[in-house]
Chain A
Amino acid sequence: MSDPTILVLASLVGGDKHGYAIMADVEQFASVRLGPGTLYGAIARLEERGWIEPLRPGERRQPYTITGAGREYLESQLAVLERVVKAGTRRLRNA
């Protein structure tokens, strides 16, 4: 699980955060360290697709929030991931 966009969405679904807080949160819950370049690449893509949006634009430590569309996208991706995890676990047991 290393798709930075999913990691950022998963972080923001737990509450609004700014860049460094997202990095720290992702490192804590997924043990993945997002570099600043990767983080802002993901933020730019998510913002462009309307899945996250900035709160109080113009701030140096800009907090972001997940949008309704972002939440739907995250749910669909996590559902796919859940199916993969279930199938993989079942096959591992039978192997």
Chain B
Amino acid sequence: MKARIASWLIRLYPAGARRRYGAEIEAVIYDIDARLRWSDLADLLKGALTMPQPVGNWMRAAAILFGTSILCAMAGGYWMARVQAQFVSKALVRFDTGSKVSAINDRLVRALSAAATIELVDKEQIYPGTAGEKAVDLFMRNVRVSPIVTHSGGPAVQMLFVHDDAATAQRALQKVVALALAEPDSGVSAYIDEAPSFPRSRTHRNPDRFFAGAISGCFAGLVLGFAGIRMMRV
């Protein structure tokens, strides 16, 4: 059985090395015969992965790697560019330094409760064609609230909302912030940074999707290329 595994492992060697040394290695395996150990099989596998390659084979392997990475980069970039761009709306909400964390938390939980958001989602048509709990689910999946540290001290949260449409992303976030501010006061006073009269939110397009897709595709292509080189035993 070990001899059979050994002859299978020899097939994993790069084609050039297999042509040059394959028969010799088989002869050595035949000579070792009953003394063949599992460690010898592990050694054969290690040899298959580290065997020096003739220059011609390296060039062929490099061409395969280059080709697969370029193809996958183009495919990844094209695919990502086709997917609709998403927009992220951001707002920074600061609270007075005396505000209790639990009170801030209660306020945000109430503002983002299903009961509070269902009205907002339906009224503002955040997801046209989708209503009720499904729309609320979608909404909740795209809202992010995270506590942050500010230079001036005092508690603050960053609120993000992601949507396919830039205007909707901004409008929805403004409404969420307004909901949070409109909550019955429980000893917490809050305001929006740099925009005392009305919540201010900024909308950014996500980083260029084509390049993100191309870079991911390039890495995937390299992995595929390596796998291909091994499978084709270049």
Binding site for B on A (CB under 8 A): 18-20, 23, 35-41, 43-45, 48, 60-62
Taken residue by residue from 11 to 33, chain B's Cβ proximity to chain A (1 for < 8 Å, 0 otherwise) reads as 00000010011011111110110
Contact of B45 with A39 in the complex, beta carbons under 8 Å: no
Contact of B43 with A36 in the complex, beta carbons under 8 Å: yes
Give the CA-CA distance A20 to B62 in the complex, in Å: 34
Known contacts A45-B52, A48-B52: A39-B28 contact under CB 8 Å: yes
Contact of A37 with B45 in the complex, beta carbons under 8 Å: yes
Chain A contacts of B206 at CB under 8 A?
A: none
Known contacts A20-B27, A60-B27: A36-B32 contact under CB 8 Å: yes
Min CB gap A22→B, angstroms: 9
Binding site for A on B (CB under 8 A): 6, 17, 20-21, 23-29, 31-32, 39-40, 42-48, 50-52
Known contacts A20-B27, A20-B32, A60-B24: A35-B44 contact under CB 8 Å: yes
Known contacts A35-B39, A36-B32, A44-B17: A19-B46 contact under CB 8 Å: no
Chain B contacts of A60 at CB under 8 A?
A: 23-24, 26-27
Can you name 23 A-B pairs with beta carbons within 8 Å? A19-B24, A19-B28, A20-B27, A23-B28, A35-B39, A35-B43, A36-B25, A36-B29, A36-B32, A36-B47, A37-B44, A38-B43, A38-B47, A39-B28, A40-B17, A40-B21, A40-B25, A40-B51, A41-B52, A44-B17, A44-B21, A44-B52, A62-B24
Give the CA-CA distance A44 to B48 in the complex, in Å: 12
Chain A contacts of B50 at CB under 8 A?
A: 37, 41
Chain A contacts of B27 at CB under 8 A?
A: 18-20, 60-61
Min CB gap B86→A, angstroms: 50
Contact of A36 with B28 in the complex, beta carbons under 8 Å: yes
Give the CA-CA distance A35 to B6 in the complex, in Å: 12
Give the CA-CA distance A53 to B28 in the complex, in Å: 18
Give the CA-CA distance A20 to B39 in the complex, in Å: 16
Max chain A CB contacts within 10 Å: which of B20, B28, B44? B28
Chain A contacts of B52 at CB under 8 A?
A: 41, 44-45, 48
Chain A contacts of B17 at CB under 8 A?
A: 40, 44
Contact of A61 with B24 in the complex, beta carbons under 8 Å: yes
A19 interface neighbour in B25, B44, B47, Cβ under 8 Å: B25
B40 interface neighbour in A19, A35, A41, A45, Cβ under 8 Å: A35
B28 interface neighbour in A20, A44, A45, A48, Cβ under 8 Å: A20
